[in-house]
Amino acid sequence: MSTQTPEQIIAAADTAVREADNALSQLEDRVIADDSSVTPGDIEHARSHRYWAGLQHKRETARAERLRAEEAERRRLAALAEAERLLAEHPLAAIDARMQDVRDAVAALRAEVDAYNQCAAAAFRVMSTDNAVPAVTVRPGSPRQRTPGLAWAYYQGAPMLWRDGDVIQRLDREHIVKRSTDLSAEG
């Protein structure tokens, strides 16, 4: 296999054609200048040599094109192989698996929030049923009592539960889910 580049192959063929053209032209010039040492056989040999150089030029041009096409195909196959390798590093299946992990985690988070809300409602019912734990009086505009432990009351008609003065609020499940995905995007 040749180590020449397509450009070198064509350049060598161009040189051979130019040299054959020059040799023929010089012989013709010598005949015109009345050099009787040049024979018709010399002219015919130079023309034949020029014709042969032209054929070789066509052959070498075709060879150079084949080499270019082969090199282009090697580059194409190498690029495809590299692209496949890169895509295999992080396949879509891995993302699908992570998406399923997220769906499972969100479902578990929703279930935990629902369970929390149900437990808080049940705790309120246990304490408020038959006033088992006496209700705390809460008036709008007045500061809430800092009762230690658990306490309950109806505030403006809505059930209210708190621990050590901190309100135990019913959680908004979708707000919690959104907050958790917002936090994961930050860090």
pLDDT at 34: 94
Q: Looking at 28-32, 53-57, 138-142, which range is the least confident one?
A: 138-142
* Residue 136 binned pLDDT confidence (cut-offs 50, 70, 90): confident
- 14 has pLDDT over 60: yes
pLDDT tens digits, 87-117: 999 999 999 999 999 999 999 999 999 999 9
- 59 has pLDDT over 70: yes
List, in order, residues 6 or more apart from 4 with CB less than 8 Å away.
12
Burial 6-30 (b: 16+ CB within 10 A, else e): beebbeebeebbeebeebbeebeee
pLDDT tens digits, 152-174: 888 888 888 889 888 888 899 99
